[in-house]
Structure 1
Amino acid sequence: MKSQFSGIKELVENLDSKSVVEKLNELLSDPNCCYKKDELYYTLGNVYRKQGDFQMALNNYLEAISINPESPAVHAREMLMDILNFYNKDMYNQ
């Protein structure tokens, strides 16, 4: 199992987002998974953030935080919220 997560991290670095999402969801649905679920949700949130799907990124960060309140997802969520709060939608109408 450990090599499977290492392979997923390599896919993230190579930006193969679709494969990463599929593999992470497989690990999350596996009751025998030996990885920390908060780490998997955090990684999945990062993949969605890189894809520009901020809602799914936030959902996964919140799931990671609910499992582990000290997860790095706390910082990732704060940064994403800062970006979304700064984002000016009116600029697209000019």
Structure 2
Amino acid sequence: MLYGCPSLPAGTRTLALETSWDLPSLGPGATANVDVTVPGARRGDFADASLDSSGIAFVLDRHVWSNNTVRVTARNVSASTVDVAAAPLAVQVIKRKLP
């Protein structure tokens, strides 16, 4: 166990999962967060996320927030309100390669 996270099977460096996210209505410049549980993730690991939506008026920021948790933030970068229906959210974590 390292920093409170369980050891992963030898050779495992990628963790991935998919869940649904129903974004709230976002006004111009507004943000919304969701915390996704990814067992085995820890701070310092690389996180990526994508939302299966046709919305192009927002961007996603993501990072490992704490052990086993990835925080995904959607930010409206348009000048109008964006209201996206629930959509699949894919999250992937790449483990740091330790020496």
Q: Specify the TM-score bucket, using the shorter chain as the normaliser.
A: under 0.3
Indicate the structure with greater strand content.
2
The TM-score, its normalising length taken from structure 1, stands at: 0.26
**Which has the bigger relative contact order, CA under 8 A and spacing at least 6?**
2
